[in-house]
Amino acid sequence: METLEFVIYPDGRVQEKVTGIVGSSCAEVTAAIESRLGIVLTQEQTSEYFAQPVQQSASVETRASFSEW
């Protein structure tokens, strides 16, 4: 599940935390929000940022052989 968490401090600073998005696509999700909030002072990537999406592929080969007895 994708979540965006915002903490707004009394001095106006906003802390944003993104979870559930694998890879750098989280930057695309938050870009519009960040542009309206103001200047981004720091960014810290989580392990999810550096993770690679899992690609699953499956192929099955079946063979039928009959005895010539």
Calculate what percentage of the chain has a pLDDT beyond 90.
9
Residue 66 has pLDDT above 90, yes or no: no
How far is the C-alpha of 24 from the C-alpha of 21, rounded, in Å?
Answer: 8
Q: What is the mean pLDDT of residues 40-56?
A: 79
Would residue 1 count as lying in a domain? no
How many independent structural domains does the chain possess? 1
Q: Which of 33, 44, 45 is nearest to 8 (CA)?
A: 33
Residue 40 has pLDDT above 90, yes or no: no
Residue 56 has pLDDT above 80, yes or no: no
The residues, any chain, with a CB within 8 Å of residue 17's CB and separated by 6 or more, are 4, 5, 6, 7
Identity at 12, one-letter amino acid code: G
Question: Can you give the residue range of the structural domain that contains 42?
Answer: 18-53
Would residue 11 count as lying in a domain? no
Q: Which pair of structure tokens corresponds to residue 12?
A: 């106006």
Would residue 62 count as lying in a domain? no
Would residue 47 count as lying in a domain? yes
